Structure 1
Amino acid sequence: MKSFRSRLAAAGIAAGFAAAMPLGAGAPALAETPADQLVIGTSLAQVLSLDPQQATEPKSQEVIANLYDRLVTVDTADGNKIKPQLAESWQVDDKGITFRLREATFASGNPVTAKDVVYSLVRLMKLNQSSSAYMKSAGYDADNIEKMVSAPDDRTFRIEMTDKVVPDALLYRLAYGVASVVDSEEVKGNATGDDYGNAWLRTNAAGSGPYTLARWRPNDIILMEANGDYWGGKPAMRRIIMRHAPESQAARLMLERGDIDIANALTASDVKTFENKPGFRIEEVKTGGFYVLSMNAGKEPLSKPEVREAIAYGIDYKGIADSIVGPYGRARNVPVPEDWQGAIPNPDWSFQPEKAKKLLADAGYPGGFSLTLKTIAQNPRVDMATAIQANLAQIGIKVSIQQGNGSDIVAAHRARNFDLLIPQASPLTPTALGALDNFTNNPDNRLEANNAGNFVWRSAWDIPELNSLREAANRERDDAKRAAMTKELQEKFVASKPAVLPLFERFEPIVVSARVAGYVGDPQQLTRLDKVTKAAE
């Protein structure tokens, strides 16, 4: 990364920043974006780190996907098939998976070797951040990882299987951003003590992807430059600029004027203004994930299932979907997208205030109680929170809303420091069982387990029966038996009055200028930009 930065032309960087100046009082009108630069207006509030073995926030993943490669990738346009990236091919046997790597180099000029793959996965588990949860649920941990991965030679990588998941489930995990391959020599050279280079890699990059990191100013700008030596060919776009544009109306105006090429943090109403509008198109990415109401089951009264059920009946899902969520999703209370194979029908959790009041009274709270709802100050979650506040007031629950930036709210969630909180969840794999994983996985609910990377643990919801059934389903190699167990798992989840209540299946509406071609949004936010082209004005 250092060597790349030294080659950047000062004039080129200055031009990029001029194109990416934030708008404000007295700011000059901006010209149409250059044909060789892609400018994205988005919210960077959740970009807390660019370390691929640490960051899991969606916008961080968008950046990481272009700075780094993984062994494999998931082609959502081809039925979620697993396809090569750094791995040219792989072979599955009874004990593990062996990968053959292509010839590639990192941005530093160092060759990509199997030792870098080993280092990256060991680093993921040894750092023991929340991002390691993906591999932990497959049976890997900081103690066993070094025995489970090996590099027989520079272009051969081997990972041994555990008895926790089937091979495809492991391959899907290796396609995620947390499994990105880092330049081990570059990272080791910038390590401080035993931090595995985390302090440095949070704000720098050491990847082999189609772009390299030129600048990141938090809540302002991320600038990436094309990697001319990329193994997949030089990207068409010379520069990618991600501008912090959290105010929807301002971002809409910027897109209309041509100051940005893509907007992906607009309100539902602003997205709607681009319907059938010449010069623009709306991409609706079905993420497979959910907007969730997390309830802290470690606190009364949320520890009582009847109270959680009352809240489930105290929310007007349809009304919120119609008036607020719009293109951002659809109402759904089972954590498997409704059109995925194996999904069960939705329960009858509609807005029924009288039923909700009775459930509260039966639980010992006829007069209701007060709670605080925390949310990241980002569309559409703030408006969701306000609507939920109004709904729950009708059943006697007084809710105060606390907005914050990504770091504040995520930290509170991981520390169990909340009553109610609105996070978003993604599927572990693009299957019904993979979608259930985040919602039914909590092997150790004790506070001292400190499993902050576990979505259910954060809500202190102890679910030994669900967890055991999930583990058994993941081990089952007979497709029919696994499908039956997946159905049972959904039914038991609903019956348990969940403390992690799915609200809306999550879509990602993206408004794109007609000048842009080849932009395909990824459900996991791992959107690659190296094939994007742009017409001149």
Structure 2
Amino acid sequence: MRKFIAGLVMGTALITTPLAAQADTPKNALVMAFAIDDMITLDPAQMFEFTGLEYAGNTYDRLIGYDNDDVSKIYGVIAESWDVSEDGKTFTFKVRDGIKFASGNDLTAEDAAFSLQRVVLLDGSPAFILGQFGLTPDNVKEKIYATDASTLVMELDKPYAPSFVLYCLTAGIGSVVDKKEVLAHEVDGDLGADWMKTNYAGSGPFALNKWTAGQSLSLTANENYWDGVPEMKRVIIRNVKEAASQQLLLEKGDIDIARNLEADQLASIKGDDDIKIMSKGKGALWYLGLSQKNEYLSNPKVREALKYLVDYKGISETILAGRSQIHQAFLPEGFLGAYNENPYDLNIEKAKSLLAEAGLADGFSVTMDTRNTTSIMAMAQSIQATWAQVGINLEIIPGDGKQTLTKYRARQHDIYIGRWSPDYQDPQTNASTFAWNPDNSDDATAKPLTWRNSWNPGPLTDEVDQAILERDGDKRAEMYVDLQKKVLEDGPFVIMFQETEIASMRKNVNNLVLAPSFDNNSYRFVTKD
């Protein structure tokens, strides 16, 4: 025990002395360097950020899961099994017996019902996932309920494609929280929201130890986990945004895994016998969001011109070398109905002609909010240089992940350069983000990327709604292809790349899981030689 405690103290010291010389990390602790400055909350009912949802995926159990190697295979996690009514509008789930929360409370169907209700009632960014089924703060307690300790019922307003419903429950909003523990910290009817921002009430393979915003996140193994106790007793994640610093820490053995190495660092460590690299194609897309509140960006000719003003090939081969492929439609390759044609390339003369047609032959000035990581800044600077060739003066406004996201979500940007990843593995996840916006007012309930960029897609909203009711897979795929072509032509998005995620690690680290979706990346099976 003494040796184990000493190891943990050493691991904690890593957080406060970034580049100090250290011994190798403890064998039963996993130490990662990862840019986690986008973390805003630890509440799975409200989080909508990449690293926050990866945290939730390792600390909370969800109702439904899917096979990382074949996403068409859906299986139960907390929901051991389920049935769908003949009319397709009622789903009944059997909740698995024998699961306990970290508090020691039994996990029941009542906890599952409360968790889903809470998402809708709090009405945070991810609430729209359940709102798609006609669930509102006014009716959710009547539509989602437990009939006994092991039976959860979910009533929908329409007979949606069953796979669409189940894939939605694989998202972070499907995380089940401890009702008793959460309500014990409720203040003024907030459903424990303030407490949950920085605390934990789950049943997953790891539990929260401590989160220091902008600095570190540490987890402890759940020694009573129902599906197998992790071998790593601690997971320590250090917020290290600089890729060069991550590389140095990895080479010295101060960390086990570096999550954000850039092209230069990856080239530098190639051939290092002490380090290995793993990669996984992801659903994440790099894109520009163009606010339609801006007088220039609201011009269709300007939007089209900007799609010809990105050096797609150059950025993909240099800045994102090995970590992306060119992809310009809103459904990632591998999804049902994905459209894999890329109609735009860098064409300065074409862009000039389009700007002239828009009456802006001399260009204009505009700003771009940019997360201040190396690769994103490099992409922004490449775009800035290209746009300057047609007279567009692009001012780059750097900030940390929280700052830029907060501004973007408030519709206070001109242009936002960002990374979007599907919330679940059904094509509706991105269709409802890039092509659907039922209410473009500032106080709208649903706030997809169309809303953030103040774009009313008109008839596309109804077309998206129809696609989720189509049960014929081939017809449904055709509907999504058509939607992507229309958004490509007229939408306020310059979609550029599909991500390949890379993790660089010490050679003694095994079984890290990189999944198709960022929130299914898992530390649960990690071992060290």
Match of 2:254 in 1: 259
SS at match of 1:199: helix
- Per-residue deviation at 1:523? 2.8
* Unmatched 5+ stretches in structure 2: none
Q: 2:136 aligns with which of 137, 141, 150?
A: 141
Distance 2:76 2:267 in 1: 37
- Aligned amino acid, residue 13 of structure 2: A
**Are the counterparts in 1 of residues 170 and 424 from structure 2 also a CA contact under 8 Å?**
no
Identity %, equivalent residues: 35
* Coordinate RMSD, CA, aligned: 1.8
1:161 matched to 2:153? The reply is no
Distance 1:530 1:439 in 2: 33
Match of 1:171 in 2: 166
- 1:411-450 to structure 2, matched below 5 A, reads 411-449=406-444
Distance 1:470 1:14, change over 3 A: same
Distance 1:339 1:72, change over 3 A: closer
- Per-residue deviation at 1:164? 6.7
- Aligned amino acid, residue 56 of structure 1: F
Distance 2:247 2:417 in 1: 25
1:502 matched to 2:498? The reply is no
- Per-residue deviation at 1:434? 3.7
**Are the counterparts in 2 of residues 289 and 435 from structure 1 also a CA contact under 8 Å?**
no
Distance 1:35 1:17 in 2: 14
**How many equivalent pairs are there?**
522
Distance 1:48 1:434, change over 3 A: closer
Distance 1:22 1:316 in 2: 39
- 1:252-291 to structure 2, matched below 5 A, reads 252-291=247-286
Moved more, 521-530 or 15-24: 15-24
- Aligned amino acid, residue 533 of structure 1: T
Distance 1:64 1:379, change over 3 A: farther
- Per-residue deviation at 1:167? 1.3
- Aligned amino acid, residue 377 of structure 2: V
Distance 1:227 1:378 in 2: 33
SS at match of 1:40: strand
Distance 1:58 1:400 in 2: 26
1:489 matched to 2:456? The reply is no
- Per-residue deviation at 1:10? 8.3
Distance 1:125 1:433, change over 3 A: closer
**Are the counterparts in 2 of residues 187 and 206 from structure 1 also a CA contact under 8 Å?**
yes
SS at match of 1:523: coil
1:48 matched to 2:40? The reply is yes
- Aligned amino acid, residue 440 of structure 2: N
Q: 1:356 aligns with which of 333, 346, 351?
A: 351
- Per-residue deviation at 1:283? 2.0
1:218 matched to 2:213? The reply is yes
* Unmatched 5+ stretches in structure 1: 1-8
1:240 matched to 2:228? The reply is no
Moved more, 481-490 or 224-233: 481-490
Distance 1:65 1:11, change over 3 A: same
Match of 2:318 in 1: 323
Query: What CA deviation, in whole Å up to 9, does each residue of 1:476-529 have, x standing for no partner?
Result: 112222122122112222222x21221111222111222111111123222222
Match of 1:5 in 2: none
1:528 matched to 2:528? The reply is no
Match of 1:512 in 2: 505
- Per-residue deviation at 1:473? 0.7
1:96 matched to 2:90? The reply is yes
Moved more, 42-51 or 435-444: 435-444
Match of 1:228 in 2: 223
SS at match of 2:306: helix
- Per-residue deviation at 1:48? 1.1
Q: 1:467 aligns with which of 461, 466, 480?
A: 461
1:39 matched to 2:31? The reply is yes
- Aligned amino acid, residue 472 of structure 2: D
Match of 2:470 in 1: 476
Query: What CA deviation, in whole Å up to 9, does each residue of 1:231-264 have, x standing for no partner?
Result: 1122111111001111111110111111111111
Distance 1:115 1:77, change over 3 A: same
**Are the counterparts in 1 of residues 284 and 420 from structure 2 also a CA contact under 8 Å?**
yes
Moved more, 93-102 or 64-73: 93-102
- Per-residue deviation at 1:267? 1.4
Match of 2:74 in 1: 82
Distance 1:85 1:371 in 2: 47
Match of 1:393 in 2: 388
**Are the counterparts in 2 of residues 375 and 385 from structure 1 also a CA contact under 8 Å?**
yes
Normalising by structure 1, we get a TM-score of 0.93
Query: What CA deviation, in whole Å up to 9, does each residue of 1:68-93 have, x standing for no partner?
Result: 11111121113442122112222222
Match of 2:115 in 1: 120
